[in-house]
Amino acid sequence: MDQYFKIYQKFDIHRLMLTDKTCALMKYKNVIFKMRKIFEGKVVMDVGAGSGILSIFCAEVGAKKVYAVEASTLANIIEQVSIENNLQDTIKVIHSKVEDIHPDSLEKIDIIVSLWMGFCLINEGMLDSVLFARDNFLRSGGLIFPFEASLHASPCQLPSMYKFGVKSGVSLPVYLSMRCIGKEYRKIESIEESIDEPVVLLLNRDNLLPEEKLFAFLDLRHIPVEEVNLLRKYKIFMCKKDGKHQGICIWFKLYFPDFCSFLSTAPYYETTHWKQTVFVLPVDTVLPVNRKAKERDYFACKLELKELNLWHYKVEITLIKADDEVNLRDLATL
Ligand SMILES: C[S@@+](CC[C@H](N)C(=O)[O-])C[C@H]1O[C@@H](n2cnc3c(N)ncnc32)[C@H](O)[C@@H]1O
């Protein structure tokens, strides 16, 4: 079996998702239950059904049939879970990659549900498979849960990476200041040293320096796969408060077709298992809010997401000193 699906066979991944009940799964459940009239008598496809939890919600609200499509061996577990909940007549488990199901082998689907998001939204590379299902199985006018997604970013301070020891707020068994250890730790975690991965951690609203910017908006009903695989955006930030620029914090938001429910992984919303994704800068820059010399309040950053392989995306961040207006104007048009 594909290495990609072997990772999903690890039960701790599914345990993590199932125990994030305060937010992610409960948000899905609440929307599905709120929109139960839309589900009644419908044919649903749960793309990447995992433990089968979303399939169960859909069956519970009266879907006529739910195809629980799961490529890993967890498909066997979905069978057991649906029997345990007496929903085996509604939930049809398909143990296959969704891409390997022949479009003519199933009737048209009314609703696609999927919890495909990874850290930083696109990590895990599963969105392609959901869009494949949309293009090959969804009837015209069918619904997709969630139907829109957005990616947000903000430069941030990372006090937990900078201050160690006394008054740091970090629970270390030391009462002395150990900022030098913080410095070494940061080197290991920064994007310069560890080109491998950003860090996944929890920040709070106070750690964000300027106002957040929308980096990408994905209309999942229509977006072509090629567009998802190369997202390149420039953003100009205006510093709102004094602080040290120590990293770029990224989070996402999902929107559901009742047009009012959403799920956000922002630092100022309820914590989810996705937390926030942070690109740690090797050195920090002081960003004073300069109320007289307006142009110094701005700086720009370019974020580029390129697909590298099925599980990982390559992310490039370029920080641009936007200290003259011409430069800023050029960037704004990109
Ligand atoms: C993020 S988990 C979500 C699990 C489940 N929906 C939940 O809410 O707990 C994604 C699941 O999709 C499966 N998956 C990923 N790509 C797939 C594909 N192309 N076809 C079928 N299953 C896939 C993985 O094996 C994994 O179990």
Alpha-carbon distances, residue 63 vs 84, 92, 221 (angstroms): 18, 12, 21
pLDDT digits (tens, 9 = 90+) for 257-270: 999 999 999 999 98
> Bigger pLDDT: 243 or 153?
153
Q: What percent of the chain has pLDDT over 90?
A: 43
* Mean of the per-residue pLDDT values of the chain: 80
pLDDT band at 76 (very low <50, low <70, confident <90, very high): very high
Q: Is the pLDDT of residue 46 over 50?
A: yes
Type of residue numbered 178: M
In the reported structure, the alpha carbon of residue 123 is separated from the centroid of ligand 1 by a whole-number distance in angstroms of 13
- Domain ranges in the chain are 3-145, 150-333
Which atom of ligand 1 approaches the CA of 25 most closely? 8
Alpha-carbon distances, residue 74 vs 9, 77, 119, 131 (angstroms): 6, 5, 21, 22
d(CA 116, CA 130): 8
Contact 99, 132 (CB under 8 A): yes
The class that CATH gives domain 3-145 is alpha beta
Question: Which residues have C-beta atoms less than 6 Å from ligand 1?
Answer: 5, 8, 14, 17, 48-51, 53-54, 69-72, 74, 97-99, 115, 126, 129
Burial 3-15 (b: 16+ CB within 10 A, else e): ebbeebeeeeebe
Residue of 115, 254, 310 best suited for mutating to test ligand 1, as the one with most atoms within 8 Å of CB: 115
Mean pLDDT, residues 311-317 taken together: 67
Residue of 16, 47, 121 best suited for mutating to test ligand 1, as the one with most atoms within 8 Å of CB: 47
d(CA 64, CA 41): 4
| Angle between helices 53-60 and 74-84 in degrees, nearest 10 | 30
Place of tokens 């913080």: 182
Question: Whose C-alpha lies nearest to ligand 1, atom 20?
Answer: 97
Tokens read off for 94? 């398909």
> Bigger pLDDT: 2 or 138?
138
Residue 320 half-sphere exposure toward CB, CA atoms < 13 A:
19
In the reported structure, the alpha carbon of residue 48 is separated from the centroid of ligand 1 by a whole-number distance in angstroms of 3
What is the model's pLDDT at position 215?
82
Contact 281, 245 (CB under 8 A): yes
pLDDT digits (tens, 9 = 90+) for 201-252: 889 888 998 778 888 899 999 999 888 766 666 666 766 677 788 888 999 9
Q: Which of 84, 105, 110, 83 is nearest to 94 (CA)?
A: 105
- Look up residue 206 and give its DSSP letter: G
Helices (H) and strands (E) in the chain, counts: 11, 14
In the beta sheet, which residues pair with residue 315? 305
What is the model's pLDDT at position 191?
57
Type of residue numbered 267: P
Q: What percent of the chain has pLDDT over 70?
A: 65
The CATH number of the structural domain formed by 150-333 is 2.70.160.11
pLDDT digits (tens, 9 = 90+) for 89-121: 999 999 999 999 999 999 999 999 999 998 888
- Ramachandran bin of 47, using left for φ above 0, alpha for ψ from -120 to 50, beta for the remaining angles: beta
What is the model's pLDDT at position 142?
97
| Angle between helices 24-34 and 11-19 in degrees, nearest 10 | 60
Contact 311, 7 (CB under 8 A): yes
Place of tokens 């044919």: 43
